[in-house]
Amino acid sequence: MSKVFQHPIRIYIEDTDAGGIVYYVNYLKFIERSRTELLRSFGYGKTAILEEGLLLVVHSIDAQYLAPAKLDDEVIATASVKKLARSYVIFEQQVLRGDQVLCKATAKIACVNEKMKPTALPMHLHKAIASYSEEE
């Protein structure tokens, strides 16, 4: 079982529609932040991969919206590693308010070179993700 990373988020007015409900696309931003902070948590900030001439890109995402978050809610965006391959990672993610799942998603994140061709994840990043995903 993979360890679950948690990133707290407060819902602000710019996250909501006119009715004070979180606009659906913002859930994708929340889970992106969670994945980014997970990588940062083991010393791999956004600029690190750019310095290596690589990019981490969203290959695909499957999201289900189950309940709305509202203005001023405190939510948690989670990320756990479902599958680690040579050139991509599949994350299981959720946005939660307390124990209630508001959104769940599966995101495939691919590593590409400057020509946008799939390439192996840097070895140190691969090792860090592998080590993290094996913890309980």
Catalytic residues: 17
CB 107 within 8 A of CB 93: yes
Contact status, residue 68 vs residue 27, Cβ threshold 8 Å: no
For the chain, list the strands marked E by DSSP.
5-10, 54-65, 74-84, 88-97, 100-113
- The b-or-e profile of 67-101 (16+ CB within 10 A means b, else e) is ebbbeebebbbbbbbeebeeebbbbbbbbbbeeee
